[in-house]
A and B are shown apart, each in its own frame.
Chain A
Amino acid sequence: MTAPVLILGATSDMGRAIAHRFAAQGYPIQLAARQVSRLEADKADLQIRYGVAVSLHEFDVLAVETHASFIQELPEQPAIVICVVGFMPDQKACEQDLSLALEVMRTNYEGPAVILSLFANVFEQRGFGTLVGISSVAGERGRASNYFYGSAKAGFTAFLSGLRHRLAQSGVQTLTVLPGYVHTRMTEGMKLPPLLTAQPQEVANAIFSAIEKKKDVIYVRPIWRWIMVVIRWLPEPLFKRLSL
């Protein structure tokens, strides 16, 4: 029996796709999100389709004080933890309502960093496991159109990078996933360039093979690596004048 894959943020489109990908491979699945009742249907679905064991776990990424007990209460420690949690409301709304901005920063950085830190300690001691964080290309340079989200993801990317550095000799893999645009509820209805936009399924496949290949950082669509090189290196005076 393989140890399970834990998905944090399992009600999201990406979370669902990832659960399917790993269940299809025979992994038992632990789905975690707020209001686990919303996951009952997914549990049945994964069991019928793939015949794997599925368990549901209440998890609120913002309730950081509960994270340690969340981990303790898991019936079994996972082999792989994938943190898909993310929150991207309208930037303009965040500028007006700083409590919303705060929520963005906490949901995209503080919460994920805390839970993965706690898992890191468990995994390090145990000597194996994989930690996966879904960050964002938005974290590679702050832009007027979504810098609350972007800065939190920047923090998360840096956190993952540091964590990987620390765990390098421990047998624990840390994977940073930079998806670029993805067709999810977050981006629904936006006009996204088809060449740069992935389906949740693609993200799931990319994560699966990156874990197999022991990768550190992946862009789901490779073209994003080059786009981000350009965007990162644009001189600030020029960057300021672009609307991105």
Chain B
Amino acid sequence: MSSPITHRGYLQQLCGWGRYPVQPCHVYCPRSESEILQLLNSGLPLIARGNGRAYGDSALNGKATLQMRHFNRLLGFNPQTGQLIAEAGVLLADILELFVPRGWFPLITPGTKFVTVGGMIAADVHGKNHHKEGSFVQSLDWLDLLTTGGQIHRCSPSENRDLFYWTVGGMGLTGVILRAAFRLRPIETAWIRQTTRIAKNLDEVINLFEAAQDVTYSVAWIDCLAVGSQLGRSVVMLGEHATREELPAKYRQRPRRTPRRRKLSIPVDFPNGALNALTVRAFNQLYFLNQQRKAGQSFVDWDTFFYPLDSLLGWNRIYGRRGFVQFQCVLPLRTAREGLSELLHCTSAAGAGSFLAVLKQLGDQQGYFSFPMAGYTLALDFPVSQRTFKVLDQLEEITLHYGGRFYLAKDSHLTPMCLRKSDSRVERFVQVRNAHQWNVHFASEQSKRLNL
């Protein structure tokens, strides 16, 4: 047909997973590279958006938000190497559904499967195996990036190396990721052999982590309302991909099939305030009693082990209409014990109980701007309120004091100053952005807030 389809955007109220902040955005849903190019050439600074699972404002841009969900095709799979080539908008959930039964699992996965390939790269996500196997970049062979000038660059550790390492963890601020090749690992079964341990306090948790260096997956759920000698009381979960041999007989017949989990969805917003110190305390108590019973070894299907929250679709609505913010920092090894203890003190003292407090051990990182560093990362959720912002200020202070840094995929609160104090790499990132004019073409509400 002779007439080109003019590309229109439309205005929509958008937010991240935390539902805070909410911002009217012009959304564009391109179906082809040339449409992205058109938009890029129109001169609007834009930001790519995957599945909106970042908590804050990193995938929002009032002027032009590029919804990548139509780029959702698998382009190649090599069963010799486990390399999968996929467009940026492919959901991890689709990959899992397709490849687990065929005996493959992503090398690196975040705690939700409702993320896109582009989103995993842009945040250089880490999983429960970071201490051992690193962040997403470790599984990434190459990516194609559409960037300033409208060129598409193939980037890898050997080709356009700098662009590659700025793009992983670059939060969409270097260009639009179009497709990527990354590796899956072969698995014999769809089950995880899980060992559950209870730690009475922070020291015990950290000792458990230290003793579990060689365990592939480890994570701890902290009861952040516990105080005094119980501060840091946790359930620690360690996991390995189960071999067929190890499996109980009833699963061994079809080891890569697991029962479908029931999906519950949260149909309406909870009233603001439904999650107060009391309900959170009750939840945490129940959770602990329950886990204590289960301490020891068990076999858990992959979905339950890696994505416990995904079966509660729309659980972000539990926090009510005002939304919530997540705080996630990492503290270096040498200050972690002390620093974590102070962070938890601060949280429990404020009584701003967190529904979710997750502690993970991290190893070294490769990306130039990726979040992880060798140490411990703590993630806390808080319902949005004036008081929460005060608590966040304090938590940020403590993090700075102990030489830690913050995860941009979770952030909606940092200031330019605080970010710069936490991370000496910021200035370099900004310089490179300016030098390549990425700043002219790519911006999010977050990058504006943080002067990136």
A binding-site residues for B, Cβ under 8 Å: 11, 13, 38, 41-42, 44-45, 48-49, 62, 87, 89, 99-100, 103, 107, 185, 188-190
A44 engages B8 (CB within 8 Å): no
**A42 to B1 Cα, complex, angstroms:** 21
Give the interface SS of chain A, mostly helix, strand, loop or mixed. helix
CB of A103 within 8 A of CB of B2, answer yes
Is the CB–CB distance between B73 and A38 below 8 Å?
no
Q: Which of B1, B27, B73, B87 contacts A62 (CB 8 A)?
A: B1
A45 x B29 contact (CB < 8 A) = no
Contact partners of A41 in chain B: CB under 8 A: 73, 75, 87
Most B CB contacts (10 A, CB to CB) among A13, A38, A48 go to A48
| A44 B1 Cβ-Cβ under 8 A | no
Sample (21) of A-B pairs whose CB atoms are under 8 Å apart:
A13-B31, A13-B70, A41-B73, A41-B75, A44-B76, A45-B74, A48-B74, A48-B76, A48-B98, A49-B74, A49-B98, A62-B1, A87-B1, A89-B5, A185-B5, A185-B31, A188-B29, A189-B8, A189-B9, A189-B10, A189-B27
New A-B contacts (9) at CB < 8 Å, excluding given A48-B76, A103-B3, A189-B10:
A45-B73, A45-B75, A48-B98, A49-B74, A89-B5, A100-B3, A103-B1, A185-B29, A188-B29
B32 contacts partner chain A, Cβ-Cβ < 8 Å: yes
A13, B5: Cα distance in complex, Å: 15
CB nearest neighbor in B for A188: B29
Q: How far, in whole Å, are A148 and B75 apart by their CA atoms in the complex?
A: 39
Provide the bound-state CA to CA distance between A188 and B12, in Å: 12
Find residues 78-111 in chain B having any chain A CB closer than 8 Å to their own CB. 87, 98
Residues of the A chain whose Cβ atoms lie less than 8 Å from the Cβ of B76? 44, 48
Bound-complex Cα distance A87 to B4 (A):
11
Residues of B within 8 A of A44 (CB): 73-76
Docked complex Cα distance between A103 and B3 (Å): 9
Contacts of B5 in A (CB 8 A): 89, 185
Distance between B63 CB and nearest chain A CB, rounded to angstroms: 15
Residue of B nearest to A89 (CB): B3
* Cβ A42 vs Cβ B73 within 8 A: yes
Task: Report Cα–Cα, A87/B75, bound state, in Å.
Answer: 28
- B77 is an interface residue with CB less than 8 A from chain A: yes
B77 contact from A42, A48, A99, Cβ within 8 A:
A48
- A107 x B1 contact (CB < 8 A): yes
The 9 closest A-B pairs by CB, nearest first: A189-B10, A45-B73, A48-B74, A41-B73, A44-B75, A45-B74, A48-B77, A103-B1, A188-B29
Question: B257 CB to closest chain A CB, in angstroms?
Answer: 18
Q: Encode B383-394 as 1/0 by CB contact (under 8 A) with A.
A: 000000000000
Min CB gap A217→B, angstroms: 28
**Contacts of A103 on B, CB cut-off 8 Å?**
1-3
Give A48 to B99 CA distance when docked, in angstroms: 10
Q: A191: nearest residue on chain B (CB-CB)? A: B10
The CA-CA distance from A11 to B3 in the complex, in Å, is 17
B323 CB, min distance to chain A CBs, angstroms: 23
CB distance from B67 to the nearest CB of A (A): 10
CB closest chain-A residue, reference B75: A44
A188-B10 in contact (CB<8A): yes
Report Cα–Cα, A11/B34, bound state, in Å.
14
The docked-state distance in angstroms from the alpha carbon of A189 to that of B5 is 14
Q: For the complex, give the distance between the alpha carbons of A48 and B94 in Å.
A: 12
Please give, as numbers and ranges, the residues of chain B lying within 8 Å of A49 by CB-CB distance.
74, 98
Chain A proximity of B306: nearest CB distance (Å) = 22
Complex CA distance for A110 and B140, rounded to whole angstroms: 49
Chain B residues, Cβ within 8 Å of A89: 3, 5
Task: List the A residue with the shortest CB-CB distance to B67.
Answer: A188
B75 adjacent to A38 (CB under 8 Å): no
Which residues B30-55 have CB closer than 8 A to chain A? Answer: 31-32
Interface residues of B in 145-187 (CB under 8 A from A): none
Report the Cα distance A107→B73, complex, angstroms: 28
Point out the residues of chain A lying under 8 angstroms from B75, CB to CB: 41, 44-45, 48
Nearest CB of chain A from residue B258's CB, rounded to whole Å: 20
B9: chain A residues at CB < 8 Å are 189
Q: 1/0 per position for B3-35, CB-CB distance to A under 8 A? A: 101001110000000000000000101011000
List of A residues within 8 angstroms of B2 by Cβ: 99, 103
Residues of A within 8 A of B31 (CB): 11, 13, 185
Chain B positions within 8 Å of A48 at CB level: 74-77, 98
**Which partner residue on chain A sits nearest B35 by CB separation?**
A185
Q: How far is the CA of A41 from the CA of B29 in the complex (A)?
A: 18
Cβ proximity bits B226-244 to A, threshold 8 Å, 1 near / 0 not: 0000000000000000000
